[in-house]
Chains A and B, each alone.
Chain A
Amino acid sequence: MALPLVRCASIKKTEAQTSQTSARTPSEEWERFEAACGKAQEQLTALYEKALNEVGEDNAAIFEIHQMMLEDDDYLDAIKSIIDTQNATAEYAAATTGENFSAAFAAMEDEYMRARAADVKDISRRVVNVLTGVDDAQMIDDKPAILVADDLTPSETVQLDKSKLLGFITRHGSSNSHTAILARTMNIPALVGVDFQDDWDGKLAVIDGYNHCVYIEPAQELLSAMEEKRSNDLKQEALLQNLKKKPNVTLDGKEIKVYANIGNAGDVGLVLQNDAQGIGLFRSEFLYLDSQDYPSEDQQFVIYKRVVETMAGKKVIIRTLDIGADKQADYFELDKEENPALGFRAIRICLTRKEVFKTQLRAILRASAFGTVSIMFPMIISVREVRDAKEILEECKAELTERGVAFGNVEVGIMIETPAAVVMADELAEEVEFFSLGTNDLTQYTLAIDRQNPKLDHFYDAHHPAVLRMIKHTIEAGHRHGCWVGICGELGADQTLTETFLRYGVDELSVSPASLLPIRKMIRSLDLSKEAQV
């Protein structure tokens, strides 16, 4: 899978140089250490607060843990002992103690605890850096770099500072995992399933997203070639910027809507920057995943309203809660399932836990008073579900009317992402005003292939004719009953299929903000009056 950019950066920083023997007295060294510890605590407080604001308490907790580790008696005693008995510098004592403690964690049976070895090293490194005057080596406030990690969860991926993250490499995960999809949304080159070496830390690296490989300390020749590739990429991107404000019309005059997919309110900037005509998929579950408890109607309303107002009258299609399967929030207390993808998720949760659903629907309805809002229900398999969901929506409208709260006209649509919905498309189209094809799940369910399993990448064919026929059938069925039909899954951004979809008659493509301009360029280059080239 080609990724859009090629960039190079050193992976983190080189270790600070520490000299072992001190010219100072042990008590002077201990004072140096305590002062540095205080500084490190301040840095951690700042990091904690930043994280708290941006990503919520759960994700910020790690910095609090680091602070507590820095106060740990055993850790401090060990450092003091090295300073006292070996006449060592504070930085040597801190670095050595960090190594010793992290080795103890690394030897533990439990995988989670083994991973804590990195935290102990981290806090020691932070103190050593303060002592030696090296800039903080933490990814989160360091110079731009490629991040190398065993694995990143979706919420970790989201919380990374996009301006500092030039790319990431993870050992686990597959190219179809949620994390990889998010990376594409953020336009960040990502390599997953790479068995990296620990000694990559601090080395120069180049990710070649086109060939899905990484070069560590590349030779000058290769580096020049990569730099040229990157500069071509940037030129291409500049060209695409020229497309802004131009209509999305094929050479023979067929116009198509190009909308953007977003995962949180912060992405709206990218949507406007890339000149999208609307938001075709606002994944509302991020509101729930970033939260410690069910987000209230008011909390949700504020976020939806911000997006709707920012889009200033352009369409915003909000997909109701699609949680479950690979997206979990603890407070939902969902049971572990043998087959989560086929389990209690999305609309199934909403129709069961009606109050959770109604809270969200009221928040969306209230936001609709500030612009153009559509509501989209995910994971539909039957007409009954759509009717039930619509009935609940009507209840919510009645409640708001009773409360004297304003709301606008909302268009109602459904995701088509199950084979059942495709087969039932004619009947479903009678119930709603639009369809949006969720090609990721539709592909997974049609081919019976798990997106999260890297072993199946070999069997996975994104262009499988069964999937393409399903898409065609859905578009035709929708049109027979006056529904407009869009595609909001990954396939919508696949330029090799754009012509096929346009020939099927698709009305809208909704893609990640980074894919907006390339797709628009592709649309403007097509001529549907000519025979299709196979």
Chain B
Amino acid sequence: MKQFTYTITDPVGIHARPAGLLAKFAKTLDSTITIAKADGSKSAEARKLMALMGLGIKTGETVTVTIEGGNEEANAAAMEEFCKENM
């Protein structure tokens, strides 16, 4: 299992567009990716668009990204890259 934290910079948070891109991207990876709110109150699998949107993550919020199974090393790096570019 690999984990990193990321602070959302997109002014509207994880809204529909980035969530859609994230879900699409997560489906291309062979790990199970989970996005969790910093306080651990809610989490969602990154492949599930509506669950992601349901987190209601706003700009400035920090999320924990967990990568499990598959090529964790490479997928964690790819996810970090993705977050920086899109969220």
Contact = CB atoms under 8 A, between A and B. Distances in A.
Interface in B35-86: 47-51, 53-54, 56, 58
B1 interface: no
A65 B48 contact: no
Given A69-B49, A101-B50, 18 more contacts: A65-B17, A65-B20, A68-B23, A68-B24, A69-B50, A72-B23, A72-B49, A72-B51, A73-B47, A73-B48, A108-B54, A108-B56, A109-B56, A112-B12, A112-B13, A113-B15, A113-B53, A116-B53
10 contacts: A61-B20, A65-B16, A65-B17, A69-B49, A73-B48, A74-B48, A101-B50, A104-B54, A110-B58, A120-B50
B51 A74 contact: yes
A527 B12 CA distance: 57
Contacts of B20: 61, 64-65, 68
A434 interface: no
A377 interface: no
Interface residues of B, number: 17
Given A69-B50, A72-B48, A73-B47, A113 B17 contact: no
Contacts of A120: 50
A119 interface: yes
B57 to A, nearest CB: 9
Contacts of B53: 105, 113, 116
Interface string B18-29: 001001100000
Contact of B13 (A65, A71, A101, A110): A110
B54 A105 contact: yes
A61 B17 contact: yes
B15 to A, nearest CB: 6
Given A68-B20, A68-B24, A112 B15 contact: yes
Contacts of B58: 110
A68 B18 CA distance: 12
Contacts of A116: 16, 53
A392 to B, nearest CB: 33
Contacts of B17: 61, 65
Max chain B Cβ within 10 angstroms of own Cβ: one of A65, A75, A119 = A65
A74 B50 contact: yes
A40 B30 CA distance: 28
Contact of A72 (B12, B15, B50): B50
A28 B75 CA distance: 39
Contacts of B48: 72-74
Contacts of B50: 69, 72, 74-75, 101, 120
Interface string A96-114: 0000010011001110110
Interface string A45-71: 000000000000000011011001101
B75 to A, nearest CB: 19
Contacts of A65: 16-17, 20, 49
Nearest to A64: B20
A75 B51 CA distance: 9
A104 B48 CA distance: 15
A113 B56 contact: yes
Interface string A193-209: 00000000000000000
Contacts of A108: 54, 56
A69 B49 CA distance: 6
Contacts of B12: 112
Max chain A Cβ within 10 angstroms of own Cβ: one of B49, B51, B53, B56 = B53
Contacts of A112: 12-13, 15
B56 A110 contact: yes
A119 B54 contact: no
A78 to B, nearest CB: 10
